[in-house]
Structure 1
Amino acid sequence: MTKYSPLIAAKAIWQMQIRKRPFVLSHAINSRCNMKCSFCEYWKTEGEEMKREDIFKLLEDARAFGILVYNAWTVEPLLREDLPEILAHAKQLGMVTSLITNGLLLEKRVDELKNLDYLSVSVDGTSSYKEIRGVSLDRIMPGIIKAKSIIKNPLLMNCVISGKNLDDIEELITMAKDMDVKISFEPMYEFGGIDEGTWNDMGIRDTDKYRRTVDRIIEMKKEGYPIINSYTYLKMVRDLRTEFVCHANEIILDVTADGSIENCRVHRSPIGHISEGIGNVWESTKKLRKDTARNCQKCLFFGYVENSLMYNFNLEVAQHYEWM
C-alpha cells in the first residue's frame, strides 16, 4: 500500500485538524488542452495563464502557509514548457509533487519530470477509449510504460466510469495488474455546461449494468487487484450515494490558471485571488466555504470523497484507500 511517510501524515493532521488549513495545493497550471473530449468543459475557454515567476510566488506562499503537496493538473499540464522548472521549485521548497495528465505528451516529456513524485494518467477504457477520448489508446500506452520505468512511486491510471466503458472495466483492471500500476475509479460527473445530447450519449443510464460493473470492481479489489479506492467509496459509487460530509474546501486550495482561488472544481466561482494573499483569502472566506459545503449536492470525485472520509477518521478508508 502506497502511503505518505508517518512524518508527512503527522504534518497533514497538524495542518488540517489543528491549524485548520489546507494540505494540498491543486493548481490548474494551464488553460490549454491537446484533446477535445466532449464531456469536459475545461478546454473550451483558453484564458490567461500565470507567468512562471507568479507560480513560484504561489508555491512559496503556499509552503509558508503550511501546504505540503503540490498537484499540477488541467487542462493539460504537459503543454506547459516550463513545467519541469515549476516542479523543481516545488521540490526545492520541500513539497511533494504530483501531476495529472491525459498522457498524449508523456512519452516525449517524461524524461524532464525528475522532480515529480506521483503521476496519474487518465485512462477511461480499452476498446472504448478512442470513442471517449478521440484518439487511440496506443497513443498513450508508450508514455505510461516509459513513465513507469522512470518515476519511483507507483503510477496511477484513473478511469472515469461512463455509459461508454462499462464493458471495458474488468479488462482495464487486469491490464493495470499486468503492467504493475495502480488504478482508481470515479463516476462521470455531468457538468452543467455540457449539452444534454452529450450526457444522453455518455452518461450513466443503464443503472443495473452500472451497479453490476461496480460490484465487479469491489470483487476484484478483494481479489487483490491494484485498485486504490476504499470499499466505502466504491459502495457509494455503486449506489450513486453522496451521504458524506464534504471537507474538500478545507483540505485543498484550488487555484486556477489565472490565479483565482475557487471553492472546488465543482463550485468554480472565484472566492478570491492569490494576489490578495492565501492566508487572507482563507480567513475571509471561512463562512462562505462552510456554507457552500453544507448546501452542496455533492459530487463523487474520488479525491474529494476519500479524503473527506479520511478527514473524519473513517477507519475502513484509512485501511483500504491508498492516498497517492
Structure 2
Amino acid sequence: MRLVSHPVLCNYYLTYRCNATCSFCDIWERPSPYVTLENVRQNLRDLKKLGVRVVDFTGGEPLLHRQLPELLQEAKKLGLITTLTTNALLYPKQADRLRGLVDMLHFSLDSPVAEEHDKSRGVRCFDKVMESIAIARKLGERPDILFTVFEHNVHKIRQMHEEICQPNDLVLILNPVFEYNTVDTGDRLSEDALRQMSWWGKQKNVYLNDAFIQLRRDGGNHIEDPICRAGSTTIVISPENKLVLPCYHLGLKDFAINNNLYELYHSGEVQKLVSLEGRLPACEGCAINCYMQPSFAVEVTKYFWRALPSTLKYNWVKGTWKQLL
C-alpha cells in the first residue's frame, strides 16, 4: 500500500568538486560548476510545490560553495528540513555563518583512529572533525557522526561510540557501505558484520536503518519486484541545474530545468522514466542508502516496518519530528 505518492526528498548537488579524494567515492573525479543562488531559489519553490519536505545539500563537498548559508536560508524560509554532510575541513571557518541553518548536520568519520580515517579520505581531516565537533557544540549545534561501515572497520564501532560520540553527546549514524558503478568499495558486508551493526543500532544515540540490513540479506533491489522508489520519492538536481533520472548513481538521462522544475517533473518523458524506477537492468541488486531510505518510507512493506523504529528514534532525538507533522 502506497502511503505517499509525491517526492519527499531532494538530493541537491551543489557541486561535484571536493577537497578530499575518498577511495570509495568517484564524485570528486568529475569536473563541475557550482549551482547559482537564483536557480536554487526558483527550484526550492518548485520543490515545495511538489511536496518535498527534506533538502539534502550535497556534493562533492558542499562547504566549497561560498553561498551555502544563503542557499540554506532560502530552504529554511520555505519551511524545508535541511541536511548536510561534510568532511569538516572547512567547517571551523564557516561554522558561525551556518549556525541554526542545518537541521541534520553530519560530520563524516570512518575511524576513531586518525591515521585510518585520513587514509580512507586521501587527505588529513581527522583533526578537523574533532575541532569541528568542539566548535559546533560551543555554538549549540547538534552534529551527528556519519560512520561509513565496511567489513574492515565494523569492529571500530564500539571505540567510535565510546571515545568520540558519548563524551560529546553525539548521535552515531551507521551507514553501511554500498556498491555502485565501477567504484571499488571493498568486499560485501558479511553476515557477522550485519549482525554487529543491527545490535549497535538498538543502542542509545546510535542510528541504523535496520531495513538497510534486511535489504542486504535479501540481495538488494530485484527488478521483478522492486523496492526502489527513487524516481517518485527523490528529486535529484545536478550542479548544471539539470534534473537527473532515475537517480544520481545510475543517471541515465538529465533534463535542463530552465526555471520550470514543477512542470518538467510532471512531463510525460520524465514520468515515463519515473515509472521504470527499480526495474532497469542496472537496478538489480542495488542497495544505495540515499535512495532506499525514502523508498522504505512511502510504501507499507516489510522494509517499512523494519525502518520505522529507527526513523522515529532518530527524529525524536533530533527534534525534527515536529517539522514532519
Quote the offset at 1:241 in angstroms.
4.1
Determine if contact 1:170/1:217 at 8 Å carries over to the other structure: no
Runs of 4+ more than 6 Å apart: none
1:177–1:305: structure 2 CA closer, same or farther, 3 Å change rule? farther
User: Which runs of structure 2 are paired with 1:7-156 in the superposition (5 Å)?
Assistant: 17=3, 20-114=5-99, 115-127=101-113, 128-134=116-122, 135-150=124-139, 152=141, 154-156=142-144
Aligned equivalents of 2:187, 2:91: Cα separation in 1: 30
Task: Please state if 1:168 is matched with 2:156.
Answer: yes
**Helix, strand or coil at the partner of 2:207:** coil
Identity of aligned residues (%): 23
Determine if contact 1:55/1:86 at 8 Å carries over to the other structure: yes
Quote the offset at 1:278 in angstroms.
1.7
The correspondence for 2:248, drawn from 265, 279, 282, is 265
Task: Please state if 1:214 is matched with 2:222.
Answer: no
Aligned equivalents of 2:277, 2:200: Cα separation in 1: 36
Aligned equivalents of 1:239, 1:130: Cα separation in 2: 33
The equivalent of 1:233 in structure 2 is 212
**Helix, strand or coil at the partner of 2:279:** helix
Aligned equivalents of 2:94, 2:65: Cα separation in 1: 11
Q: Deviations for 1:245-282, whole angstroms, at most 9, x for unmatched residues? A: 11122111110111111121221233322216222322
Task: Please state if 1:203 is matched with 2:193.
Answer: no
Quote the offset at 1:216 in angstroms.
1.9
**Helix, strand or coil at the partner of 2:297:** helix
1:138–1:89: structure 2 CA closer, same or farther, 3 Å change rule? same
**Helix, strand or coil at the partner of 1:291:** coil
Unmatched tracts of structure 2, length 5 or more: 321-325
Aligned equivalents of 1:67, 1:253: Cα separation in 2: 8
The equivalent of 1:279 in structure 2 is 262
AA aligned to 1:144 is: I
The equivalent of 2:290 in structure 1 is 303
Aligned equivalents of 1:298, 1:147: Cα separation in 2: 38
AA aligned to 2:201 is: K
The equivalent of 1:319 in structure 2 is 309
Determine if contact 2:9/2:233 at 8 Å carries over to the other structure: yes
Q: Deviations for 1:145-172, whole angstroms, at most 9, x for unmatched residues? A: 32234355x4222222224423323222
Determine if contact 1:187/1:237 at 8 Å carries over to the other structure: no
1:159–1:47: structure 2 CA closer, same or farther, 3 Å change rule? same
How many equivalent residue pairs? Answer: 297
AA aligned to 1:231 is: D
The equivalent of 1:9 in structure 2 is none
The equivalent of 2:323 in structure 1 is none
Q: Deviations for 1:114-168, whole angstroms, at most 9, x for unmatched residues? A: 322221122112222122112242222111232234355x422222222442332
Quote the offset at 1:299 in angstroms.
2.8
Determine if contact 1:246/1:298 at 8 Å carries over to the other structure: no
**How large is the Cα RMSD of the aligned pairs?**
2.5
AA aligned to 2:255 is: G
AA aligned to 2:308 is: A
The correspondence for 1:247, drawn from 211, 223, 229, is 229
Task: Please state if 1:191 is matched with 2:180.
Answer: yes
**Helix, strand or coil at the partner of 2:284:** coil
Aligned equivalents of 2:296, 2:273: Cα separation in 1: 21
**Helix, strand or coil at the partner of 1:144:** helix
**Helix, strand or coil at the partner of 1:146:** helix
